[in-house]
Amino acid sequence: MTLQIAFDNSYAQLPPRFYTRISPVPVKAPQLIRFNDDLAQALGLPRGSDEELAQIFSGNRPPEGAALLAQVYAGHQFGGFSPQLGDGRANLLGEVIAADGTRRDIQLKGSGPTPYSRMGDGRAWLGPVLREYVVSEAMHALGIPTSRALAAVATGEPVYRETGRLPGAILARVAASHIRVGTFQFFAARGDVAGLRALFDHTVQRHYPDVESPAELLDAVIERQARLVAQWMAVGFIHGVMNTDNTTLSGETIDYGPCAFMDSYHPDTVFSSIDAHGRYAFSNQPNVIVWNMAQLATALVPLMPDQEAAVEEFTRLVHGMPPRIQAHWLDLYGKKIGLAQAGPEDEALITDLLRRMAENRADFTNTFRALPEGRARDQFLDPAAFDAWEETWRPRLEAEDAPQARMRAANPAVIPRNHRVEQMIEAAVAGDMAPFERLLDVLARPYEDQPEAQDLTRPPEPSEVVQQTFCGT
């Protein structure tokens, strides 16, 4: 008997040109790898047996009431516009109302080809599924808005990539929605104002119930994305593929492909194997999100009765985004060095530390975590470089109340380091899921000191350094 899930599907009520109704392609021998019981409980989902869950979240046995559709969208990919993209290997099961009253999508990723697959096989292999599971759950624990992993299922079938034959898997992920900047671009590119209006109304109802106009929607999305990217910057996260089709209207992190966290700090750090020119480098993420919001603004213009005036107003909003990002950045980095409320005069202090860290190959996470214990200088090739900065920092800190506690609350002790994620994937492919389970357990408490997990806080040895990360498509 199939488990009952109380779906409440709203996206499926939009006009048919918003999606293609299609079922997941069944797999040979689904086996549950992991089920997120805490998330399931928050969503009000029944537990069921491992076998039942494997059948549901592989797509073999979709629950009654599932929406079963692939969404269509467009997008700028590395600056080039593709007028039609869409869910090429994903299938929306449906929407549920969580215990807190919020609406959540449940989507299968790697569930087989769709009309938007563009000659792809529609599948995922085990590595990227486990990477997204670990990193998205780590982001949630860090307090950063994100899609989350509900389940991972092995398919019992191989997939084939450049490296050869690999074990197949499917990820069930949960998101506030999968509405993207590229979704608006899809209808704008076709001059489909009625479609744009329907999408606007749906987005407002779902995410911004107090918004009344496209200008207000743009302003609200800009604010959420400004905060989100500043949060990425504060933990050394590099999304790797900030295309407009990977930028959500909800303000959540989504589509973990070639993502990575920095070890030693450098502003120009790039990991993504497909980012040949550094478009999505760590330090360029604030610039890219502003560019993406400009594309959203362009897509919203047709909804305005006076389009000339709209262009002027939208331009003002987009041009006002960098100061918003900087304000969030300053607040977050201020707390990272112990300041309750950093002011403009503190920016030079923060940027001077970052400059010295880059010059001395200091580990990003460990340097900030060591600040309250007075051990940060040990992260520098030349400890004197930190000492010189500290002479300015210490007097500034004297005016603060409980700065050590503030720093410990703002600076994680552990992140999903690239070499540990890769080692976890290698072990999983060999049949050992213990490193995967351990990472999930430790990363669920990133701000706690966990003596038994000190090895997971260690930067990579030269032989362990991960130079590139891959999408896995």
Per domain, the residue ranges of the chain are: 11-175, 330-410
CA–CA distance, 214 with 221 (Å, rounded to integer): 10
Provide the pairing of β-strand 80-82 with 90-97. unpaired
User: pTM higher than 0.75, yes or no?
Assistant: yes
Alpha helices in 90-213 (DSSP H): 126-141, 181-189, 193-207
The token pair that represents 283 in the structure block = 């330090």
**8 token code pair:** 């409440």
CA distance 389 to 396: 11
Cα(130)–Cα(151) distance, integer angstroms = 10
Q: How many beta carbons lie within 10 A of that of residue 373, not counting itself? A: 11
Average pLDDT over residues 84-101: 95
What is d(CA 445, CA 439) in angstroms, rounded to the nearest whole number? 10
Q: How far out from the chain centre does Cα 31 lie?
A: 26
C-alpha 447/C-alpha 455 separation (Å) is: 16
E strand or H helix that includes residue 285: helix 285-300
Residue 56 CB coordination number (10 Å): 26
CB 379 within 8 A of CB 221: no
Tell me the sheet residues that pair with 248.
Answer: 180
Q: So what's the pLDDT on residue 1? A: 47
**Is pLDDT at 210 greater than 50 in this prediction?**
yes
Percent of the chain with pLDDT over 70: 99
pLDDT of residue 469: 85
Mean pLDDT of the chain: 96
pLDDT score for 162 = 86
At residue 31, the pLDDT reads 98
Q: Read off the tokens for 92.
A: 């929306």
What is the rounded distance in angstroms from the CA atom of residue 238 to the CA atom of residue 257? 11
pLDDT computed for residue 473 by the predictor: 63
Give the pLDDT band of residue 467 (cuts 50, 70, 90): confident
Q: Is the pLDDT of residue 441 over 50?
A: yes
- Is the confidence at residue 144, as pLDDT, over 60? yes
Query: What single-letter amino acid sits at 201?
Result: D
- Residue bearing tokens 């400059």: 355
Phi/psi at 55 (5° precision)? -65, -40
Q: Distance between CA atoms of 397 and 447, rounded to whole angstroms?
A: 21
Q: Which residue matches tokens 């490296």?
A: 163
In 3D space, the residue among 406, 422, 369 whose CA is nearest the CA of residue 235 turns out to be 369
Q: Give the side-chain half-sphere CA count within 13 A for 468.
A: 9
For residue 450, the one-letter residue type is: Q
Tell me what pLDDT residue 262 has. 97
- Give the mean pLDDT of 130-148: 98
3-state secondary structure of 288: helix
Q: What is the CA radius of gyration of the chain?
A: 22
Return the exposure string of 344-371: e unless at least 16 CB atoms fall within 10 Å of the residue's CB, then b. Answer: eebeebbeebbebbbebebbbbbbbbbb
| Model pLDDT for residues 369-426, shown as the tens digit of each residue | 999 999 999 999 999 999 999 999 999 999 899 999 999 999 999 999 999 999 999 9
Helix (H) or strand (E) holding 364: helix 364-370
Q: Which residues are catalytic?
A: 245
Characterise 402 by phi-psi region: left (phi > 0), alpha (psi -120 to 50), beta (else).
left
Amino acid in position 120: G
pLDDT for res 128: 96
Across 285-301, average pLDDT: 98
Phi/psi of residue 365, nearest 5 degrees: -65, -45
How confident is the model at residue 118, as a pLDDT?
85
